[in-house]
Amino acid sequence: MINKIKKTLLLLVVLFSSASAFAQDTQSPEMASGLYQSGKIYVVVVVLGVIFAGILTYLILLDRKIIKMEKELNNK
């Protein structure tokens, strides 16, 4: 269980670090600069973080339930 979480986290770190390497443009889109100037970009980042954390939590809890059900079926 812990190995799966470690592998998943490692995969996410690798994916996000490689994505940031390709996103090195000299010009930023108008929308992003407008959101950054008004300070709303932080709200967007926080909302996306909360959504991602919620989905990740849901998947972990679902995995635990499935493992518990599999153990119950194997014991019968």
Structural domain includes residue 24: no
- Domain enclosing residue 59, as ranges: 52-76
- What single-letter DSSP state applies at residue 4? H
DSSP letters spanning 26-74: SS--HHHHHHHHHTTHHHHHHHHHHHHHHHHHHHHHHHHHHHHHHHHHH
Q: Indicate the number of domains in the chain.
A: 1
Angle at 51 between CA 48 and CA 23, to 5 degrees: 30
Structural domain includes residue 6: no
Task: Tell me the mean pLDDT in the region 37-56.
Answer: 91
Q: What is the pLDDT of residue 15?
A: 75
Q: Is 39 left (phi over 0), alpha (psi -120 to 50) or beta?
A: left
pLDDT tens per residue, range 21-43: 665 555 656 666 777 778 888 88
Structural domain includes residue 31: no
Task: Tell me the mean pLDDT in the region 61-74.
Answer: 95
Q: What is the pLDDT of residue 29?
A: 61
Structural domain includes residue 36: no
pLDDT at 63 over 80: yes
- Percent of the chain, pLDDT > 90? 39
